[in-house]
Homo-oligomer: A and B are copies of this chain.
Amino acid sequence: MAKKTRRRSEKAGLPPGTLVHTGERPPEATVITVFEYGPDFYEERKPVRLEECFKPQPLQTVRWINIDGLADISVIEGIGRQFGVHPLILEDILSTGQRPKCDDSTSHLFVVFRMLQYIDATEAIQSEQVSILLGPGYVVSFQESVGDVFDPIREQIRTGRGRVRNTKADYLVYRLMDAVVDGYFLILEKLGERVEALEQEVIKEPSEETLNRIYALKRELIYLRKSVWPLRGVISQIEKTASPLITDTTEPYFRDVYDHTIQVMDSVDTFRDTVSGLLDIYLTSISNRLNAIMKVLTIITTIFIPLSFIASIYGMNFRYMPELEWRWGYPTVLGAMGTIFLGMLYFFKKNKWL
Which residues from chain B contact A327 at a C-beta distance below 8 Å? 320
Copies per complex of this chain: 5
Q: Say if the beta carbon of A83 comes within 8 Å of chain B.
A: no
Interface flag for A79 (CB, 8 Å): no
Q: Find chain B residues with CB under 8 A from A330 CB.
A: 316, 318, 320-321
Additional A-B contacts beyond A13-B179, A290-B290 (19; CB < 8 A): A13-B151, A13-B182, A15-B164, A16-B163, A16-B253, A17-B163, A103-B252, A211-B284, A279-B280, A290-B291, A293-B295, A304-B308, A308-B308, A308-B309, A311-B316, A317-B324, A318-B333, A319-B324, A320-B326
Q: How far is the CB of A184 from chain B (nearest CB, A)?
A: 9
Q: Are A186 and B12 in contact (CB under 8 A)?
A: yes
Across the interface, do A325 and B333 meet the contact criterion of CB distance under 8 Å? Answer: no
Q: Which residues of A contact B (CB under 8 A)?
A: 7-9, 11-18, 86, 88, 97-99, 101, 103, 151-152, 156, 161-164, 175, 178-179, 182-183, 185-186, 188-189, 203, 208, 211-212, 215, 218-219, 222-223, 226, 252-253, 255-256, 259, 262-263, 266, 270, 273-274, 277, 279-284, 286-291, 293-298, 300-302, 304-309, 311-321, 323-330, 333-334, 353
Contacts of A163 in B (CB 8 A): 15-17
Which 9 pairs of residues, A with B, have the shortest CB-CB distance?
A15-B162, A13-B152, A12-B182, A311-B312, A314-B316, A297-B298, A318-B330, A315-B315, A9-B186
Interface pair A218/B321, CB less than 8 Å apart: no
Contact between B315 and A324 (Cβ–Cβ < 8 Å)? no
A298→B291 CA distance, assembly (Å): 12
Task: Determine the distance from Cα of A89 to Cα of B273 in the docked complex, in whole angstroms.
Answer: 30
Min CB gap A201→B, angstroms: 14
| A287 CA to B88 CA, complexed, in Å | 51
Q: Could you name 14 residue pairs across A and B whose Cβ atoms are closer than 8 Å?
A: A11-B182, A18-B162, A211-B280, A219-B274, A283-B287, A287-B287, A294-B297, A300-B305, A304-B306, A313-B334, A314-B316, A314-B318, A317-B324, A320-B326
A127–chain B nearest beta-carbon distance, Å: 13
- List of B residues within 8 angstroms of A302 by Cβ: 296-297, 300
